[in-house]
Structure 1
Amino acid sequence: MSRIERNSLVLAGLLHDIGKLMQRAHAEGDLAQISPTSAEAESTFCPVAPDGRYTHRHVLWTDAFFEWLRNEVGVPPDIDLALAQKLACSHHRPEAAGEHEALAWILTEADRLSAGMDRRRDEDDPEARHRARRQPMRSPLAGVDIGRGETQVLYHRVTELSPQPEALYPVPGDEGLVEQVPEQYQTLWKRFLRAVAGLRQVSDGRHFLEGLRSQLERFTWAVPSSTVDTPDISLYDHVHTTAAIAACLWRYHGADTTPERVRDRGVRAYRLLAGDLSGIQRTLFTLAQQGARGAAKVLRARSFLLSAVVDAAALLALRALELPAVCRVQSAGGRFVLLVPALEGVEERVRELQHQINRWLLRRYLGGLGLNLALTPPFSGEDLLGERFLGVMDALGQAVEEAKQRPLEGVQTGPIPLRFSEHGPCSVCGVRPAAGHTEGLCEPCFEEERIGQRLPRARYVVYGPEKEVVPPLHGVPLPGGAGLAVVQELPRDLSAFWRVEGLGPRQAGALSWRALATYVPLWGPEEVDDPRYRMRDAGEEDAEPPRPGTIKTFHHLACDALERANGSYRGRALLAVLKADVDFLGFVFARGVPREKQSLSRFAGLSRMMDFFFSAHLPWILENTPEFRSTYTVYAGGDDLLLIGPWRQTAELALRLREAFHRYSGGNPNLTLSAAVWLVPPSASVARSALDAEHGLEQAKDQGRDRVWLFSRVLPWGQAVEACERAGRWVEWVDANRVTRGFLQRLQTYLEMRRQAERDPTQAAWRARLAYDVARNFKDKKMRFEVLGQVGLEPDLTVREQTLDVLPVALEWALHRIRK
């Protein structure tokens, strides 16, 4: 089958509804001036309504865009632009494609199946056209409902994708927002054209299509695909999954298919292929030195390379099954999902690929890491429609769970022979033999260190054949003969590479871009002489001198927790490990959307938006909030994160992230975070600390979710915010000499008596002792009542339970801050 035909079909799938955006950005009469031939093509491409009028006129605008693309940009030689134009413009009237009618029916079916409905109503009556130009997209996250509270109807501004809050957070659909939409469409369209014009420099169809897909994500993520149905599916998610279904159908039916065969939705033509890694946590924290010294150079790069193994597996699977990149319908959090054809031989190819990758993983990670590939049973087009799609997702979940029970499948098990030379074990992992040319490191750890040094300044990630990537671009090998490099500049010829990604839209230009949480704290020139970093408890054993532009060590991050007060620094130089994830995530995907509205496009969109919070918005918060810039990202993506930073800032960061997620999801009580903040000395075992944070997170979930574990207690988020505020007030009073540190420590004793009084009546005097202490030390009546209120007691010593409940955390928080 022709690669040109496949690429042309994918291009048609990506652009078949671009006319909707163009139409909303213009007045209806503009079409005749922009493209007269397109305006006159009604009888060719538009269906006819029972009343005789032409409908679905957006295809005429799609035709006009193709004319612009031909004249201003062009396409690579392995794409037939005329064929793509005919298919895209015929998707509501496939017979208009003439000799390519069967191909047009593939796109038509893909369009309908992507939306999860048989046929879309059109937007072409006058009232509908007016509404379409004023309709923002409804937030899909704000509409998720799993029965944990009422949802709101909120909308996204019509703007390009950005990690900034004003672009991401949904807002009420008041008249002010609606009035702005027409102008926002016009601005968005102009920027989209400028971005797509950059594709003229791309000479390879693979990179052209990925670059176009990326620009569509950037500019149409908040454009509703339909304004006559529930406008909560973005144009991007619709056209992306349409292109994926079309490519899969084309691969299944072959070049000689017929319209009748394509329209048969009872044929089980599809399967989903999922891939993820087992053993990530164990492999990530394999460090010879259990303390954190030197770990900051390794962890972020190791986490990145582990996710790169998953990316490489997805690319290898697409190549093995002869599918384009658009068939990757989910990519988040170290996992991918591909839509693949249910052809004979698919299982064998997947099995061979899994064995090949796992053999490589065994050699490199000595059995600690394994790739799981899981195929669903074949399903039909009917199974993509509405509530039947739930069965597909259930089958996917079951296949993934079964695959996890077979780690390293296809690899011979037993003792792994290792030969250690006079260089001994690796000084970083302590597991593999050190190589003679790598300064005491094994090859994998040496490569991780090299990638770690380049990652903070990298602008591009390049995947391709190992021989084309590793030696020329100083990259690292990946499974299946693949290679990866992170670079600041690209070579002129990209045709040998499988995938090239810019780390952000500005870096990518016309190429594909991805959000990647690579933020790590670097030394600034103004910090090198900061006296905090020379203090004894800051870890003076860390002999490496700070240099601007290099990564701070964990010992130095702990120092950032110290506060300056009265001419000196105080507080505890500790780290905090912050671990958080989304509650009930499996249930959110399975049941968060009404059964009748389930579809592949909604699944893809929900996954993409969830991932964007962790992989893009979180790094933006870290980079743009001064108090959080000393936060080290171990990993963040999908639905979870693991961060390490100075304890004081990290505890407040947990509260900030919960508030950000709350706003990102439209205040939806059905979408919540649970987290744990675990304090550790900078010399503690990173692996053990991460495990302890995991246990704290489990306790937060066991006690009801939507909570945070902090200072050995689980609090609802609202109480955690109150604890932070009360801790700040205690610190202010200590600084103003209104209370003493000794008084705060005595309060802890009274609280312990209160806890024991539940079982030991002799401890019931805690309240009287506390009241006596307050009366003895605070003679001013107003101050005495303020202190009692801060503690959680009324003037008559009546207990305010909620305030007393947060007092232990508030006291610990304050005492950690004022320690000298």
Structure 2
Amino acid sequence: MQEEIMKLRFASLLHDELSAKFIRQYLPNELQKGLTFVAGHHDASQYLSQGYHHLKMLVLADWLASSERRDLNEEEEKGKRKKMPMETIFTSISLDHNKDVERKYHNIELLSLNESVFPLERKDISQELEDNYRKLWNNFIAELGKIEYKNSERYLISLYYLLKKYTSRIPSAVWQSRPDISLFDHSKITCAIMESIYKNNMNEEEIGKILEILNKKSKNENLTEEEKLLLNKDRFSLIGGDISGIQRFIYSITSKGAAKGLKGRSFYLQLLGEAIAKYILNRVGLSIANLIYSAGGHFYIFAPQNVDINGIRKELEEILMEIHNGELYVAVDKVDLSISDLIEKRIGEKWKELGNKLEERKKKKFSNILDKKQVSANVYYVKALRS
């Protein structure tokens, strides 16, 4: 099972028309077996045929990650991708819906923390886009060759961050939509969805039916009640975490060395949030790609629907009580997601629902363990309830 899921992770991170050639030419021999099926993820003759379970999983994840519900008989547009820069997502945001926002872009370049992080007007973007793509590719291949293969899990993590470095400024698609989603983010979400499909034990027949329904829906054809039920069934979940007690923790320091103390504690909280998120990933058996966001004491994880969130919450409460004596608490909860939630773009509503559930959790700090301990004998419980 572990070998199978690792192959699916690599396949979903590298799922484009060049993937099969790339895998044969550049990946270690230990990883090549069983990965070449990714070349058929735009080939309807394959993913509509029997015996292509993994390929069907990849196609479904790819469609859900990009809301692509293509006509299954449509020939893929190959070689027609315009050499365009990536548009910043912020040009899609406007308080005045009647006013057009000036579009701005990022150059085709490495992800970095220098001035290039700020988007530019189209006229200020390099006109040598094809050369920029070529340079990125050559540097990516050179750096990929330096990764020493020890085991598939370590190699996956290295590849993940290398893709983040080199493809976060490359648009994932430009011919059918605004180029405001990076190739890295699309690959990351595809990997997260595919892993959740696998963890939900969706069989080949069921996935095939869903692909046909999505194609039917893309043509605006009416769906049967049975087909609607398949799309509305909860199959995934969005897990959220919110660390509570941050203000008290940061500012409860003496004036001596206060500046260093503030920086140190802020950095610690960032590490704590990431550590908790990765604890959940390991607990559920998910990869780093399933961690959608982690910053400012908050994190969000895309996961399968069948997650024991109550068990995870109890474990985290016991750990934090042991380490911080109730001074810090993490509210953890989840909302379930259906395929309809993803393709009908209801994720914003689900995000809000999750936020409300986390706020309610913070009103019940350590509720999973309080009734099993001698509360009156431990003053730290009082501190926890006050924070």
Q: Does the residue aligned with 2:234 lie in a helix, a strand or coil?
A: coil
Q: Does the residue aligned with 1:269 lie in a helix, a strand or coil?
A: strand
Once residues 78 and 242 of structure 2 are traced to their aligned partners in structure 1, the CA distance between those partners, rounded to angstroms, is: 47
1:262 deviation in Å?
5.6
* Residue 208 to residue 262, structure 1, CA distance change in 2 (3 Å): farther
The equivalent of 1:338 in structure 2 is: 301
The equivalent of 1:243 in structure 2 is: 191
The equivalent of 2:159 in structure 1 is: 212
1:367 deviation in Å?
2.0
Q: Which runs of 4+ in 1 moved over 6 A?
A: 120-123
The equivalent of 1:107 in structure 2 is: 58
1:258 deviation in Å?
5.0
| Cα deviation 1:590-628 (Å, max 9, x = unaligned) | xxxxxxxxxxxxxxxxxxxxxxxxxxxxxxxxxxxxxxx
Letter in 1 for 2:164: E
The equivalent of 1:4 in structure 2 is: 3
The equivalent of 1:320 in structure 2 is: 283
Once residues 232 and 332 of structure 1 are traced to their aligned partners in structure 2, the CA distance between those partners, rounded to angstroms, is: 22
Q: Counterparts in 2 of 1:458-473, with a 5 A limit? A: none
* Residue 418 to residue 150, structure 1, CA distance change in 2 (3 Å): same
* 1:379 and 2:378 aligned: no
The equivalent of 2:214 in structure 1 is: none
* Residue 141 to residue 416, structure 1, CA distance change in 2 (3 Å): farther
**Corresponding residue to 2:118 among 155, 158, 169:** 169
* 1:194 and 2:138 aligned: no
The equivalent of 2:219 in structure 1 is: none
Once residues 160 and 321 of structure 1 are traced to their aligned partners in structure 2, the CA distance between those partners, rounded to angstroms, is: 32
* 1:151 and 2:104 aligned: no
* 1:63 and 2:63 aligned: no
* Residue 417 to residue 189, structure 1, CA distance change in 2 (3 Å): same
* 1:278 and 2:228 aligned: no
Once residues 257 and 296 of structure 2 are traced to their aligned partners in structure 1, the CA distance between those partners, rounded to angstroms, is: 25
Once residues 295 and 50 of structure 2 are traced to their aligned partners in structure 1, the CA distance between those partners, rounded to angstroms, is: 40
Q: Counterparts in 2 of 1:290-369, with a 5 A limit? A: 291=255, 293-343=256-306, 346=307, 349-369=308-328
TM-score by length of 2: 0.83
Given that 2:244 and 2:328 are in contact with CA atoms closer than 8 Å, whether structure 1 keeps it comes out as yes
Unaligned runs of 5+ residues in structure 1 are: 18-58, 420-430, 432-820
The equivalent of 2:223 in structure 1 is: none
Q: Does the residue aligned with 1:270 lie in a helix, a strand or coil?
A: strand
| Cα deviation 1:46-67 (Å, max 9, x = unaligned) | xxxxxxxxxxxxx1x2222112
Letter in 2 for 1:67: R
* Residue 218 to residue 230, structure 1, CA distance change in 2 (3 Å): same
Q: Does the residue aligned with 1:339 lie in a helix, a strand or coil?
A: strand
Segment drifting more, 184-193 vs 207-216 = 207-216
Once residues 268 and 311 of structure 2 are traced to their aligned partners in structure 1, the CA distance between those partners, rounded to angstroms, is: 23
Which structure exhibits the higher relative contact order, with contacts defined as CA atoms closer than 8 Å and separated by 6 or more residues? 2
* Residue 182 to residue 225, structure 1, CA distance change in 2 (3 Å): same
Q: Counterparts in 2 of 1:360-759, with a 5 A limit? A: 360-376=319-335, 378-412=336-370, 414-415=375-376, 417=378
Given that 1:101 and 1:259 are in contact with CA atoms closer than 8 Å, whether structure 2 keeps it comes out as no
Given that 1:14 and 1:243 are in contact with CA atoms closer than 8 Å, whether structure 2 keeps it comes out as yes
1:173 deviation in Å?
1.5
TM-score by length of 1: 0.41
Given that 1:278 and 1:407 are in contact with CA atoms closer than 8 Å, whether structure 2 keeps it comes out as no
Once residues 124 and 354 of structure 1 are traced to their aligned partners in structure 2, the CA distance between those partners, rounded to angstroms, is: 47
Given that 1:285 and 1:299 are in contact with CA atoms closer than 8 Å, whether structure 2 keeps it comes out as yes
Letter in 1 for 2:283: A
1:182 deviation in Å?
0.9
* Residue 416 to residue 237, structure 1, CA distance change in 2 (3 Å): farther
Given that 1:318 and 1:324 are in contact with CA atoms closer than 8 Å, whether structure 2 keeps it comes out as yes
* Residue 232 to residue 274, structure 1, CA distance change in 2 (3 Å): same
The equivalent of 1:93 in structure 2 is: 43
The equivalent of 1:124 in structure 2 is: 77
* Residue 206 to residue 158, structure 1, CA distance change in 2 (3 Å): same
1:392 deviation in Å?
2.3
**Corresponding residue to 1:252 among 200, 206, 211:** 200
Letter in 2 for 1:124: E
| Cα deviation 1:492-542 (Å, max 9, x = unaligned) | xxxxxxxxxxxxxxxxxxxxxxxxxxxxxxxxxxxxxxxxxxxxxxxxxxx
Letter in 2 for 1:63: A
Given that 1:156 and 1:171 are in contact with CA atoms closer than 8 Å, whether structure 2 keeps it comes out as yes
| Cα deviation 1:157-201 (Å, max 9, x = unaligned) | 000001010x22211223x736211111111111111121122x1
Unaligned runs of 5+ residues in structure 2 are: 212-229
The equivalent of 2:90 in structure 1 is: 141
The equivalent of 2:220 in structure 1 is: none
Once residues 341 and 379 of structure 2 are traced to their aligned partners in structure 1, the CA distance between those partners, rounded to angstroms, is: 50
RMSD: 2.7
The equivalent of 1:569 in structure 2 is: none
Once residues 326 and 234 of structure 1 are traced to their aligned partners in structure 2, the CA distance between those partners, rounded to angstroms, is: 14
Given that 1:383 and 1:391 are in contact with CA atoms closer than 8 Å, whether structure 2 keeps it comes out as no
The equivalent of 1:83 in structure 2 is: 34
Once residues 226 and 272 of structure 1 are traced to their aligned partners in structure 2, the CA distance between those partners, rounded to angstroms, is: 25
Given that 1:123 and 1:227 are in contact with CA atoms closer than 8 Å, whether structure 2 keeps it comes out as no
* Residue 340 to residue 66, structure 1, CA distance change in 2 (3 Å): same
Given that 1:95 and 1:101 are in contact with CA atoms closer than 8 Å, whether structure 2 keeps it comes out as no
Given that 1:374 and 1:400 are in contact with CA atoms closer than 8 Å, whether structure 2 keeps it comes out as yes
Once residues 381 and 270 of structure 1 are traced to their aligned partners in structure 2, the CA distance between those partners, rounded to angstroms, is: 8
Once residues 265 and 89 of structure 1 are traced to their aligned partners in structure 2, the CA distance between those partners, rounded to angstroms, is: 27
Q: Does the residue aligned with 2:300 lie in a helix, a strand or coil?
A: strand
Q: Does the residue aligned with 1:410 lie in a helix, a strand or coil?
A: helix
Letter in 2 for 1:218: K
